[in-house]
């Protein structure tokens, strides 16, 4: 059995998944634990690349599967259908997460820290403070970036007082202007022109399961919903292809305006009724405008899930 501990977030990783993994590796190595290694399960998005470029860091190594018995440490997820191939036979020793717990079980005891915060890095920050660990500037910027990303600069309804407090303390360590740095980081992630329609619908897609029915909720951030909707026909072709290839009953593509805190969704599949019932809206041209909705975790998934 490989004694190396692989630390990773979910497939189609966002800034929280990547930064949380990297911080956990750094802290372990700061404390003499040289067997930890942060890896990733997908491509780096432009927002996360902004953070890595700002710090002059390389992205973690990409992996596609793990072997039986591989020791792993999960951050920012727990559901097996969002994790690496082979996760069912891996040895999970730790989880730090801020999502619902679903489709998860282990054969051995483990360390599990889950809190309903806006970001995984907020939980990690609290753990480090409790343990008396010293946090350096690079680690502070990584965690601050994750919090900014997941809470949309503290504007998302998922934001808690714990996230606000953590970000304020991390900004002092990092010596950054949170609003200036955060806005530039978020804007970097809204540049979608270089992506194909297939890439767009997979940039930040969560695979979900309800009573054996598989569905996906994907999300992209933008400063202009209208610009993204110019590609609706091509996006729908890519979505329908994914529905057919993966046997999905529903695909929801959420286009979120980070400046005005609204979302337009495109919903396709045999169970679009779950979306219509969730928001009490009839889809028109396969679309619905959701005012004030920005969070997949708190505003999209729970309502859609309970309407299956």
pLDDT band with cut points at 50, 70 and 90 for residue 2: very low
What's the CA gap between 170 and 134, in Å, rounded?
12
For residue 2, CA distances in Å to 24, 85, 94, 213 come to 19, 17, 16, 35
Mean pLDDT of 268-293: 97
The yes-or-no verdict on residue 268 having pLDDT over 60 is yes
For residue 246, CA distances in Å to 83, 207, 216, 236, 241 come to 16, 10, 10, 15, 9
**Over the stretch 172-202, which tens digit does the pLDDT of each residue have?**
999 999 999 999 999 999 999 899 999 999 9
Please give the CATH superfamily to which domain 5-187 belongs: inorganic pyrophosphatase (n-terminal core) (3.90.1640.10)
Mean pLDDT of 18-27: 97
Domains 5-187 and 197-306 share a fold: no
pLDDT of residue 1: 40
Residue range 197-306 forms a domain whose CATH class is: alpha beta
Tell me, yes or no, if the pTM score tops 0.85: yes
Residue-range domain boundaries for the chain: 5-187, 197-306
For all residues of the chain together, what is the average pLDDT?
A: 96
What's the CA gap between 37 and 8, in Å, rounded?
9
The yes-or-no verdict on residue 207 having pLDDT over 70 is yes
Mean pLDDT of 74-94: 97
Closest to 75 in 3D by CA, of 29, 20, 37: 20
């Amino acid at each position: 059995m490989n004694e190396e501990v692989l630390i990773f977030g979910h497939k189609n990783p966002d800034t929280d998944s990547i930064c949380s993994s990297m911080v956990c590796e750094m802290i372990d190595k700061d404390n003499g634990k040289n067997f930890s290694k942060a890896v990733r399960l997908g491509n780096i998005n432009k927002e996360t690349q902004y953070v890595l470029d700002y710090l002059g860091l390389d992205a973690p190594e990409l992996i596609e599967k793990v072997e039986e018995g591989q020791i792993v440490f999960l951050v920012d997820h727990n559901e097996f259908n969002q994790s690496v191939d082979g996760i069912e036979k891996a040895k999970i020793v730790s989880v730090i997460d801020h999502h619902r717990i679903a489709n998860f079980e282990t054969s051995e005891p483990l360390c599990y820290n889950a809190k309903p915060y806006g970001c995984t890095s907020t939980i990690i920050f609290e753990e480090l403070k409790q343990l008396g660990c010293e946090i350096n500037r690079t680690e502070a910027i990584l965690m601050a970036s994750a919090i900014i990303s997941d809470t949309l600069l503290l504007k998302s309804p998922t934001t808690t007082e714990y996230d606000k407090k953590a970000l304020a303390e991390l900004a002092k360590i990092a010596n950054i202007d949170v609003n200036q740095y955060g806005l530039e980081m978020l804007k970097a992630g809204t540049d979608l022109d270089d992506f194909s329609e297939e890439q767009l619908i997979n940039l930040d897609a969560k695979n979900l399961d309800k009573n054996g029915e598989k569905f996906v909720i994907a999300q992209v951030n933008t400063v202009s919903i209208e610009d993204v909707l110019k590609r609706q026909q091509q996006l729908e072709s890519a979505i329908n292809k994914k529905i057919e290839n993966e046997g999905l009953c529903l695909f929801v593509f959420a286009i979120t305006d980070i400046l005005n805190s609204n979302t337009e969704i495109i919903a396709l599949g045999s169970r679009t009724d779950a979306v219509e019932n969730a928001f009490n809206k009839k889809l028109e041209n396969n679309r619905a405008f959701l005012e004030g909705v920005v969070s997949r975790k708190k505003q999209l998934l729970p309502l859609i899930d309970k309407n299956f």
